[in-house]
Structure 1
Amino acid sequence: MTSVKQVQITFDCEEPERVARFWCEVLGYVVPPPPPGFAGWDEFDRSLPPERQGSAFACVDPTGAGPRLFFQRVPEGKVVKNRVHLDVRVGTGLVGAARVAALEAECARLIALGAVRVELLLADGFNESCLVMQDVEGNEFCLD
């Protein structure tokens, strides 16, 4: 029998805290408490060697049901399409114009947070409509 493992989704990025806070807003996630002995994450970050400051940030599902998202600074910029991406499920159970309207409404909210709209893919008889977007650092994701 196979056991279910917890997963963490890790993003390589330039500005971990900025990207993490964007995803907190998208998903309703929160920043976890800082390590014991620190009043906040800024204080913890200042305790690190200069080259490690600002190098990582995380956010979690406040219900504990969803995976932890971890954001780590990497030296190289994004140059190609993601091989893995998140689908943000906003149109579940909806079809046709109602689904597109839900996708468009969420798209407008996320654009205000710094996301970029890429392309609306309309239902084709096999797949329902979805909307391709990019987060604040250009990582692709879909509103599904």
Structure 2
Amino acid sequence: MSRHVQITFDCADPTGMAEFWSTALGYRVQGPPGGYETWERFLDAMDLPPESRNDASAVVDPDGFAPRLFFRRVHEGKRAKNRVHLDVRAAPGLDGDERMAALETEAERLVSRGATRIQRYDPASTLEAGHIMMADPEGNEFCLD
């Protein structure tokens, strides 16, 4: 039996992280539960206080194939390098200078949305095609690959 995978981010601002990652991946923010036109109406119906309304958010692949990303608010900040990270496949099928140029363009776009560029790794051998290490607005590392 196969399993579906959800990737969960602990963060300070679930709504902001959902907006960033939906932009980065071409996902969409998950819609409200059935019977509710907006999240605001659902949260009103649940009588959720204003201070709890940014406790969680999620983004989904519009085609329904890739994993759901779930963001939940935690009060402690990030402390160390991620042991697991996302590789955003931003230059599929490209090689060499063309690949790195496409990665640079995507890095610039994501920096304009709040990401931080950490380091560029140029192609070093036939086993490494080159990538750019980045961090999302809350410091979680990911690679443009």
SS of equivalent to 2:87: strand
Instruction: Return the TM-score normalized by structure 1.
Output: 0.92
In structure 1, what is the equivalent of residue 66 of structure 2?
A: 66
Instruction: Tell me which amino acid in the other structure corresponds to 2:103.
Output: L
Identity across the alignment (%): 51
Q: Counterparts of 2:141 and 2:9 in 1: how far apart (Å)?
A: 11
The runs of at least 4 consecutive aligned structure 1 residues that moved more than 3 Å come to 49-52
In structure 2, what is the equivalent of residue 117 of structure 1?
A: 117
Structure 1 residue 111: deviation in Å? 0.9
* CA-to-aligned-CA distance 1:118-144 (integer Å, 9 cap, x gap): 100111113110000011111100000
Q: How large is the Cα RMSD of the aligned pairs?
A: 1.4
Structure 1 residue 68: deviation in Å? 0.6
Whether the 8 Å CA contact 1:100–1:129 is kept in 2: the answer is yes
In structure 2, what is the equivalent of residue 85 of structure 1?
A: 85
Structure 1 residue 51: deviation in Å? 5.5
In structure 2, what is the equivalent of residue 54 of structure 1?
A: 54
| Alignment size in residue pairs | 142
* CA-to-aligned-CA distance 1:33-86 (integer Å, 9 cap, x gap): 211343311233343245632100001001001111100001100010111110
Whether the 8 Å CA contact 1:16–1:56 is kept in 2: the answer is yes
Q: Where does the alignment leave 5 or more consecutive residues of structure 2 unmatched?
A: none
